[in-house]
A and B are shown apart, each in its own frame.
Chain A
Amino acid sequence: MALSKFDIFSRTKSNVAWTLSVSFAAFIIFLLLLVTGYLLVLGAGSLSLEFFTEIPSGNVVATRDAAGKVIEGIGGMKQALIGTIILIGMASVVGVPLGMLAGIYLSEYEAGGWLATPLRFICDVLAGVPSIVVGILGYELLVRPVWMGTNNAWAGAAALAFIMVPIIARTTEEMLRLVPNSFREAAIGLGATKAQTIRQVVLPAATGSLVTGVMLAIARVAGETAPLLFTALNSKYTPISLDASFPFVHVATNNAFPSLTVQIFNYATSPYVEQNKQAWAGIIVLIALIFVLNLAIRFAASRSVGKTRTS
């Protein structure tokens, strides 16, 4: 059968659309591979065992013997890696529940109430505040008045939590809105209270997407440098120590606190080549850390959903 002009035209359009979308998808994959490959080329060389087991040695240049073998290197980023994990943990302990409660309020309690509209607006504004502003506020409102100018982990974690709360609140709200209303009606029709409905039906139904929202927020703050520059700053000492005295694990939270991002920032802007290289290695580790965290949380959530009982 002969094709009409219109048929040929619409087929051509369809082919063009297909070609465009496939080529842009391929371009994005290419970009991702480019970035990853570039990082690996620049950083993998410095990604030694030493990187994970040593703190910065104090040398800015490795000392070598006559044969060029390294006698003493510039050390690693062990302290920064541990510090980042602790900071993320501290920020999440505060930020995740606060953000989720705000999101639950927005979606389940006051969808159109007098408090909801301003709260939603404030969340959107806060989510867009440049992180350097959060850092400076952390310094002016916490570090200077409360800790007399001493940089510390609490202020760093507070700054990160401040960034997390609005993101988590808004994603939680959006995700809970996706839960069909008929679930709520079914539970309420059986005599569930509002709180029971939320806890036993709405939240379990949204677990997967809530985890994604939390992950996004964690990934976002894990990569933050600016808020930490003024609050936790950085340190070359391991912030955690184990001994026999209660509570056995001691975290030095009241002093300048190490983090990967600030360490990377310092090394990347340093004039010494070996430190520059280690900054690249630090970036690889940071990305890997976020990736592993992501997988771990997803795994934990999928298991808990499998076990979820509505009681």
Chain B
Amino acid sequence: MTTVASQPKPAANSHPIAPAPEQTAGRPLRQSDDPSAVVSVRDFNLFYGPKQALFNVSCDFLQNRVTALIGPSGCGKSTLLRSINRLQDLIPKVRMTGDMHLNARPIYGKGVDVISLRKSTGMVFQKPNPFPTTVFENVVYGLRLQGIRDKKLLAERCEESLTAAALWNEAKDRLHASALGLSGGQQQRVCIARAIAVKPEVLLMDEPCSALDPISTARVEELIVKLKDRVSIVMVTHNMQQAARVADFTAFMYLGKLIELDESARMFTQPSHKMTEQYLTGRFG
């Protein structure tokens, strides 16, 4: 909890908020042209075939802040996260309505170049998933996709990203060894390095610690807090303590609806919604 308390608090009127009429609770709805919103979501609905998975989600994810999405399994938090880089498009029969913007550029709509959109986002998955190749090739994969061929630049960016991912000291002697030979925690940090090597505008993390042991989890959490100086982070977590430790903002989702999004410090001490309070105190979920 101390981590959260020590975060610089944003200006008083700057909490992004879920705007469902009964939930806005007098707080202003942030506009997508707000300079400090990296990702803004407006009236976003998502359907898997006939089944609706997200209901009128509206919120903002802020620049250089960590926002955690929490909620019981199946509440749509991963779906929301994966909608930001349109990974959810890969699922057959998926359909969305509403708007999302990444730094004021539309994510959905006609004429959106999904490939270049994804190039400006980074994603870290639940299970460490380094490609079965060397550490170096893993880290620079996104850069190669961007067409960077200059070996010196690739090496520089590799070192920079591994340093930022707190892995350089452990990995510098085995850059050209297989990434699969690393421990689970190290593999996850390779994946983080791979995601931040492309200098993404937003880093999406889908339960980045749930497959890691407690020590690796602590290291990754530390890393997340450090990384927010470089990149804005949206993370899904099952672990409420983790959200409280690392996230500046926390969003609570339930059954596909965004119930509440607030500063973590406030959310975990005095949630505005009864449902949030019940979830946080373990009465359901």
A binding-site residues for B, Cβ under 8 Å: 112, 180, 182-183, 185-193, 196, 200-201, 204-205, 308-311
Contact = CB atoms under 8 A, between A and B. Distances in A.
> Which of B92, B117, B133, B204 has the most C-beta atoms of chain A within 10 angstroms of its own C-beta?
B133
Contacts of B138: 310
Given A191-B118, A191-B119, A309-B137, A186 B146 contact: no
Interface string B31-57: 000000000000000000000000000
B141 A310 contact: yes
A126 B138 CA distance: 40
A185 B133 contact: no
Given A190-B122, A191-B118, A191-B145, 17 more contacts: A182-B125, A182-B127, A185-B129, A186-B194, A189-B87, A189-B122, A189-B195, A189-B204, A190-B123, A190-B195, A191-B116, A192-B115, A192-B145, A196-B145, A200-B141, A201-B131, A309-B137
B142 interface: yes
Contact of B133 (A190, A191, A310): A310
Given A201-B131, A204-B132, A310 B115 contact: no
28 contacts: A183-B131, A185-B90, A185-B123, A186-B123, A186-B125, A186-B191, A187-B131, A187-B141, A188-B90, A188-B118, A189-B85, A189-B204, A190-B119, A190-B123, A190-B142, A190-B145, A190-B194, A191-B117, A191-B119, A191-B145, A193-B115, A196-B145, A200-B141, A205-B131, A309-B133, A310-B133, A310-B144, A311-B144
Contacts of B123: 185-186, 189-190
B121 interface: yes
Contacts of B127: 182
B239 to A, nearest CB: 20
B125 to A, nearest CB: 5
A119 B178 CA distance: 37
A186 B193 CA distance: 12
Question: What is the predominant secondary structure among interface residues of chain A facing chain B?
Answer: helix
B92 A112 contact: yes
A69 to B, nearest CB: 61
A191 B120 CA distance: 8
Nearest to A192: B145
Nearest to B154: A311
Query: Across chains A and B, which 8 residue pairs bring their CB atoms closest together, nearest first?
Result: A191-B119, A189-B123, A182-B129, A190-B142, A191-B118, A311-B144, A186-B129, A205-B132
B198 interface: yes
Contacts of A180: 129
Contacts of A190: 118-119, 122-123, 141-142, 145, 194-195, 198
Given A185-B87, A185-B125, A186-B191, A191 B131 contact: no
Contacts of A182: 125, 127, 129
A112 B195 CA distance: 31
A107 to B, nearest CB: 14
Nearest to B115: A191
Contacts of B198: 190-191
Contacts of A311: 137, 144
Interface in B77-117: 85, 87, 90, 92, 115-117
> Which of A189, A196, A204 has the most C-beta atoms of chain B within 10 angstroms of its own C-beta?
A189
Contacts of A310: 131, 133, 137-138, 141, 144
B129 A188 contact: no
Nearest to A309: B137
A189 B118 contact: yes
A187 B122 CA distance: 10
Nearest to B144: A311
Contacts of B195: 189-190
> Which of B118, B122, B132, B137 has the most C-beta atoms of chain A within 10 angstroms of its own C-beta?
B132
Interface string B207-238: 00000000000000000000000000000000
A311 B134 CA distance: 12
> Which of A191, A193, A200, A308 has the most C-beta atoms of chain B within 10 angstroms of its own C-beta?
A191
A201 B142 CA distance: 12
A244 to B, nearest CB: 43
A112 B144 CA distance: 31
Contacts of B191: 186
B202 to A, nearest CB: 12
A182 B119 CA distance: 17
